[in-house]
């Protein structure tokens, strides 16, 4: 399901990293961000979403120790648009993909990302495959390319956070193969079979709990609300950042007008009011000066909201979307092969019992016996496969809930950022107040 018909990924502008604003990252370091100033006309109602609801019966204290959960792992992949486009007639956008964990740097096209997504989805149909931004065959503006670049970066970093998908051989090839993937695929034919058939899983080591399906239905229902909530939060945060960026611009305009007005005060109509006109000029200059300081602080805060808070929200939204996609795949993956085998096996057993011992039916009985043995083997394999599917889904529910805990870091970062911004602005206004009070 698209997140929005016009802007499905919630990115509505080209944005660059900031240079002065600091936000605490999950690892305790500080990162920078830079904003855009376009406006978005979108004010949807927020869905009801109880974030305190847990998929497990046991809830922890508010200050839970999260050290055992891999939610604060810093992003290890960067995706940048290569400066030159390849192709003679149709120019292809190339991306520079760097992975610090593998110390790798490769060039990839969007089709390479799409191939990886398709291959991983086929190989792991019961896992949460990170969402991939759309190709968009229409006009490719700079704004769209920037949105897609950020989406591709989130896709790869989410892939490497997953405990199973990150270890896949095709993921390793994507990050380390120095040649074009098109050439590599011509010389190599990787298996696209699902992981149960490819890895020859056995039932004993892959048993899910008896309540796995109940937990899945509960998680599916809860996740529907989470997708809506995070989608609206992304739109809202985008608007908050835009308003702050635009207010910063208005401070610049207001300050420029004050500066122009203060120049006019140099020409007084009468000598008697020379002192008062001079005071107006001095006060105007002070207000303009402090508005400039406030503009810088507000612009920096808007940039950090874009680069950090909004991207963190999109990470959570993409996480929920990947589980939603898993829920949509589940009926097809689960299938009805087991029920068909059971029905056919039952019918053949009845038929062979009826024909056994009847003269002239020996060949038919032998044929049925062989079919029964084959169906028993296939039935046993399908039972193991379903047990494996159930186990995988149960693991993905646990992974989803653990990764949702990243919202704790997100909220703390946002709160710290806003507190620091408001305090900086308050200090500027107090300084201006003291300047103006002392001048009278």
The Cβ-side half-sphere exposure at 293, using a 13 Å CA radius, reads: 14
Is the pLDDT at 147 greater than 80, yes or no?
Answer: yes
Residue-wise pLDDT for 83-132, tens only, equals 876 555 557 889 999 999 999 999 999 999 999 999 999 999 999 999 99
Q: According to the model, what pLDDT value does residue 70 have?
A: 56
Is the pLDDT at 329 greater than 90, yes or no?
Answer: yes
Residue-wise pLDDT for 164-204, tens only, equals 999 999 999 999 999 999 899 999 998 899 988 887 655 44
The residue among 420, 429, 409 whose CA lies nearest residue 20 is 420
How far apart, in Å, are the Cα atoms of 321 and each of 9, 155, 232?
11, 12, 13
The residue among 195, 177, 201, 187 whose CA lies nearest residue 107 is 177
Q: According to the model, what pLDDT value does residue 204 have?
A: 43
Q: What is the pTM of this model?
A: 0.77
The residue among 319, 370, 375 whose CA lies nearest residue 346 is 375
Average pLDDT over residues 359-369: 90
Q: Which of 142-146, 299-303, 318-322, 370-374 has the lowest mean pLDDT?
A: 142-146
**Average pLDDT of the chain?**
81
Dihedral, CA of residue 19, residue 25, residue 30 and residue 35, to nearest 10: 10
Residue-wise pLDDT for 202-250, tens only, equals 544 557 778 899 999 999 999 999 999 999 999 999 999 999 999 999 9
| Distance in angstroms (rounded) separating the CA atoms of residues 158 and 166 | 9
Share of the chain above pLDDT 70, in %: 76
| Distance in angstroms (rounded) separating the CA atoms of residues 276 and 113 | 68
Is the pLDDT at 294 greater than 60, yes or no?
Answer: yes
Provide the β-strand partners of residue 104. 99
Q: How confident is the model at residue 81 (pLDDT cuts 50, 70, 90)?
A: very high
């Amino acid at each position: 399901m698209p997140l929005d018909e016009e802007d499905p990924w919630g990115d509505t502008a080209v944005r660059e990293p900031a240079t002065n604003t600091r936000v605490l990252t999950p690892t305790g370091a500080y990162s920078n961000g830079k904003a855009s100033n376009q406006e978005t006309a979108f004010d949807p109602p927020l869905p009801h979403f109880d974030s305190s609801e847990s998929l497990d019966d046991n809830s922890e204290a508010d200050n839970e120790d999260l050290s055992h959960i891999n939610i604060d792992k810093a992003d290890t992949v960067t995706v940048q648009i290569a400066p030159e486009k390849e192709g003679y007639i149709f120019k292809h956008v190339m991306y520079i993909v760097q992975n610090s964990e593998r110390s790798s740097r490769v060039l990839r096209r969007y089709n390479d990302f799409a191939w990886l997504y398709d291959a991983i989805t086929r190989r792991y149909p019961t896992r949460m495959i990170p969402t991939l931004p759309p190709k968009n065959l229409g006009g490719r503006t700079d704004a769209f390319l920037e949105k897609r670049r950020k989406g591709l970066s989130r896709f790869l970093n989410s892939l490497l956070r997953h405990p199973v998908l990150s270890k896949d051989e095709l993921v390793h090839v994507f990050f380390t193969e120095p040649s074009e993937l098109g050439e590599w695929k011509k010389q190599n034919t990787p298996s696209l079979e699902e992981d149960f058939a490819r890895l020859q899983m056995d039932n004993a080591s892959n048993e899910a709990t008896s309540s796995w399906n109940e937990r899945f239905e509960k998680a599916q229902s809860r996740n529907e609300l989470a997708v809506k909530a995070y989608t609206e939060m992304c739109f809202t945060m985008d608007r908050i950042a835009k308003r702050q960026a635009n207010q910063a611009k208005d401070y610049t305009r207001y300050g420029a007008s004050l500066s122009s007005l203060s120049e006019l005060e140099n020409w007084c109509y009468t000598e008697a009011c020379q002192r008062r006109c001079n005071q107006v000029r001095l006060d105007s200059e002070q207000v303009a000066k402090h508005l400039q300081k406030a503009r810088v602080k507000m612009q920096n805060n808007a940039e950090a909201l874009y680069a950090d808070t909004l991207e963190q929200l999109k990470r959570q939204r993409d996480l929920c979307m990947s589980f939603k996609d898993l829920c949509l795949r589940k009926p097809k993956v689960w299938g009805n092969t087991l029920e068909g085998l059971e029905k056919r096996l039952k019918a053949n057993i009845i038929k062979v019992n009826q024909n056994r011992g009847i003269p002239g039916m020996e060949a038919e009985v032998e044929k049925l016996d062989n079919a029964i043995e084959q169906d028993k083997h296939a039935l046993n394999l399908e039972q193991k496969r379903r047990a494996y599917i159930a186990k995988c889904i149960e693991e993905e529910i646990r992974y989803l809930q653990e990764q949702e805990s990243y919202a704790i870091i997100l909220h703390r970062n946002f709160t710290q950022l806003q507190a620091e911004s408001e305090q900086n602005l308050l200090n500027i206004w107090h300084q201006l107040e003291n300047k103006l009070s002392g001048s009278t």
